[in-house]
Amino acid sequence: MSEIAACATEELAPDEMLQVFVEGRAPIAVYNLDGEFFATDDTCTHGDASLAEGDIEDGEVICPFHMGAFDIRTGEATAPPCVSPIRSYPVRIEGGTVYIEVDP
């Protein structure tokens, strides 16, 4: 596994998210859920939409395309029409930076 520096913790207020581009791979969404940071694939498994452009409600990211939802902590689909999970990534914070563990 390797790590990427995704963003500074101060870039994300609580209950906000952003899209991170990593060369050679699909975008990743980084979330600040009440001071805890999480990361998942950014593209909805139901339609080609950026989850970072959606909303956060009760620990879920709501897709802006068809209003399906995913659990931010696990990536599990929680509301139709989404049924397939999104990938979640291990995250760690060091020195005010959010690091995401990704496959090499």
| pLDDT, tens digit (0-9, with 9 covering 90-100), for 22-74 | 888 999 999 999 999 999 999 999 988 999 999 999 999 999 999 999 999 99
> Does residue 85 surpass a pLDDT of 80?
yes
pTM here is: 0.93
CA distance linking residue 44 with residue 96, whole number of Å: 28
- What SS3 state is found at 53? helix
Is 9 in contact with 37 (CB distance < 8 Å)?
yes
Inform me whether the pLDDT recorded for 104 exceeds 80.
no
Task: Inform me whether the pLDDT recorded for 77 exceeds 90.
Answer: yes
Question: Bridge partners of 38?
Answer: 31
Hey, where are the domains in the chain? 2-102
Q: What is the domain class of 2-102 according to CATH? A: mainly beta
